[in-house]
Chain A
Amino acid sequence: DQQVKQNSPSLSVQEGRISILNCDYTNSMFDYFLWYKKYPAEGPTFLISISSIKDKNEDGRFTVFLNKSAKHLSLHIVPSQPGDSAVYFCAASASNDYKLSFGAGTTVTVRA
């Protein structure tokens, strides 16, 4: 039962442009959301998180938006750089559950 869904397996974007990654969830108990980036042969690296009491969180080039009513969050990367080429995972946790539930990931390719 996939409670966190990333429906776009891949995304190609030109260097300098915006990358928008989307994530949908079904569990209404989720109230903390994270994005991780993963390079091949490495573990996931934490990027940015957001609590359900907020609708936006920004850290440098990365901004996460949360739409609770739509059960949807997105990650914006502006401007996209070649080093951003990686797999991005959306994850969520609920207040009654400490584990993270992950989406299947979106592979981002930044073209020069």
Chain B
Amino acid sequence: DSGVTQTPKHLITATGQRVTLRCSPRSGDLSVYWYQQSLDQGLQFLIQYYNGEERAKGNILERFSAQQFPDLHSELNLSSLELGDSALYFCASSARGTHQETQYFGPGTRLLVL
């Protein structure tokens, strides 16, 4: 158990809909990262937050947005969902969000868009 929690574990929805994925980092960690793993793909970085502020952005679609709240939990919002958004979404956390830090991953949310 990494100490990172994600809810829900599974999500099934329809095209065009909007969903929110939630992540709670390990106790004491200030930085949260979101990654997407599509079928037969490695993990792709989406976005990083540190202590409530966006720090880095990867290949995140404009239809996707995220935020980190004062209690340090984070939410990833996916809107106008398409079939291709079906994937595993992982949240990771690290202590300071700096270089050469280990990122600890949650169990993921499996999203299926029908």
Contacts and interface: CB of A to CB of B under 8 A. Distances in A.
A pairs with B: yes
Interface of A: 2, 4, 31-32, 34, 36, 41-46, 49, 51, 89, 91, 93-95, 97-105
Interface in B55-94: 55-56, 58, 90, 92
Interface residues of B, number: 29
B105 A93 contact: no
Contact of A89 (B43, B55, B102, B108): B43
Contacts of B106: 43
B108 A43 contact: yes
Contacts of A105: 42
A102 B43 CA distance: 6
A32 B99 contact: yes
B43 A44 contact: yes
B98 A98 contact: yes
A101 B21 CA distance: 22
B48 A103 contact: no
A98 B90 contact: no
Given A36-B105, A44-B105, A98 B42 contact: no
Contact of A43 (B31, B44, B55, B107): B107
B60 to A, nearest CB: 11
Contacts of A101: 45
Contact of A99 (B2, B4, B33, B41): B33
Interface of B: 2, 4, 6, 31, 33, 35, 40-45, 48, 55-56, 58, 90, 92, 97-100, 102-108
Tell me which of A34, A45, A94, A102 has the highest count of chain B C-beta atoms within 10 A of its own C-beta. Answer: A102
Contacts of A32: 99-100
A29 to B, nearest CB: 11
A98 B55 contact: yes
8 contacts: A31-B100, A34-B102, A42-B108, A43-B90, A46-B2, A98-B97, A100-B33, A103-B42
A46 B4 CA distance: 13
Given A102-B42, A102-B43, A103-B42, A51 B100 contact: yes
B47 to A, nearest CB: 9
